[in-house]
Amino acid sequence: MATMLVTGSSGLIGSEVVSYFSKLGWSVHGADNNMRADLFGPEGDTSWNRRRLVASCPEFVHHEVDIRSRSLCRDLLAALRPDAVVHAAAQPSHDLAAARPFDDFEINAGGTLNLLESYRRARRDGIFVHMSTNKVYGDAPNSIALRELRQRWDYADERFANGIPETMAVDQSIHSLFGVSKLAADIYVQEYGRYHDMYTMCLRGGCLTGPNHCGVEQHGFLSYLVRCNLERKTYRIFGYKGKQVRDNIHSLDVVLAIRAFIESPRHAAVYNIGGGRTNSCSILEAMEMVQQASGIASECEYIEKSRMGDHLCYISDLTRITNELSGWSLSVPLDQIIDQLVSSWRHRLNTQSISQ
C-alpha cells in the first residue's frame, strides 16, 4: 500500500488530498497542529475538519506535529518514509506576516526546509509536492498594462491574454512578507529537485477554494465573502474600486493536478495553477454571483487604501500545466464553486447555531 504524508491536513487543500487519496486506497498520514486557530482565532479553527477526516477516512492517521520543529519532522519522515509528501501547511496571510514576521518565516520557509531535508534523508526517490502561491511574483503583475471595464480590470497587453505565465519575474517588486517567505520555500523546493535530484513540484496557486474552506478576512476571499453574505456582515473592499480580479479554482482540481504529477513525476517542476480566465471574477462580480446563489443582498464597505503588494488583476496562465500534466484540466466551474460554498457555509452556520 502506498503511503502519503499531508501537512496542513485539516486545511482546505490538505483535507481534500486526504479524502481523495484515502478513497484510492493510500495509507494517508496528516501533520497538523491547528495553527490557524492561533493565527486567526476561533474563526480559523480547523479541528472540525480534522474530526470529519478521522470519521470519514478509516485509514487516516493524524499527527499533532508543528513543522517548525526540526526534530519532529525528522522523526516523522524517518518513521513513515512515505512514497509522497504533499506540503500544504502554511501561514497564509499578508497582514499576519507583517504582524508576526518570525512566525511567518519559520512556518513557511523554515518548515518547508525541515520537511525537505527530513524527506531527503528518509528517501530521495519519493515525490514532494509543495503548495506555493502566486504571491511569489510580488506585485510584478501590476506592471502589465490594464484596461478598465465596468466591473473589472483586464489585461490590455495581448501577450497576457491567457494570464500570467511561470516566466513572470519574482524579484524587484513588493511581495509582502508573506510573499517573501513563500518565495524562499518555493526556491528551496526547486533547488532540492535540481541539486539533490528529487522529484519535486511547486504549485503556484491563485485563489484556491472549495466547500471546506475556512475563510477569514485576511485569507480566503471567496469563502469569506460567502460567509459575510450569509451572516449579513459588511464585507470590506480594499482599494482598486472593487474591480481587482482573482481566478478561483476548486480544491478538487488542485488534487487532480497532484495525482497527475505523482503518476508522472519530474524534477523541480513549477506550475501556475488557478481558475484561469474561465473561473476569474472581480470582487464586484463575485458579490453579484454570491447574492444570486444565496438570495441575500451583500453589504460592503469601500476602503480606498489597497493592501500592500496586492494584485489588480491576476489570472493564471494554465498553458504549461495542461500541456505537461497529462489529462489535467479544470473540472469545476465558478458558479458551482459558489453554490457549494453557500451550501457548506449554511450547514456550518446552522450547526454552530444549534450547538449554541
Say which range, 35-39, 268-272, 342-346, has the weakest mean pLDDT: 35-39
Domain spans of the chain? Answer: 3-355
Residue-wise pLDDT for 5-15, tens only, equals: 999 999 999 99
Helix (H, G, I), strand (E, B) or coil at 63: strand
Question: Apex CA 56: angle with CA 55 and CA 62, to 5°?
Answer: 60
For the chain, how long is the longest CA-to-CA vector?
A: 56
pLDDT for the residue 61: 98
Residue 341: pLDDT over 80 = yes
pLDDT for the residue 287: 97
**CATH domain 3-355 topology:** Rossmann fold (3.40.50)
Residue 214: pLDDT over 90 = no
pTM higher than the cut 0.75: yes
* Residue 214, Ramachandran bin (φ over 0: left; ψ between -120 and 50: alpha; else beta): beta
Residue 354: pLDDT over 60 = no
**Smallest Cα–Cα separation from 134: which of 193, 178, 99?**
178
pLDDT for the residue 356: 45
Q: pLDDT tier at 256 (50, 70, 90 boundaries)?
A: very high
Residue 219: pLDDT over 80 = no
Residue 355: pLDDT over 60 = no
pLDDT for the residue 245: 97
Cα pseudo-dihedral 277, 218, 236, 318, rounded to 10: 0
79: buried, middle or exposed (CB in 10 Å: 19+, 13-18, 0-12)? exposed
What grid cell was written down for 290?
A: 454570491
Supply the DSSP string of 125-166, one letter for each residue. TSEEEEEEEGGGGTTGGGGS-EEE-SS-EEE-SGGGTT-B-T
Residue 96: pLDDT over 60 = yes
Name the percent of the chain lying above pLDDT 70. 98
The rounded mean pLDDT for the chain is 95
Residue 326: pLDDT over 80 = yes
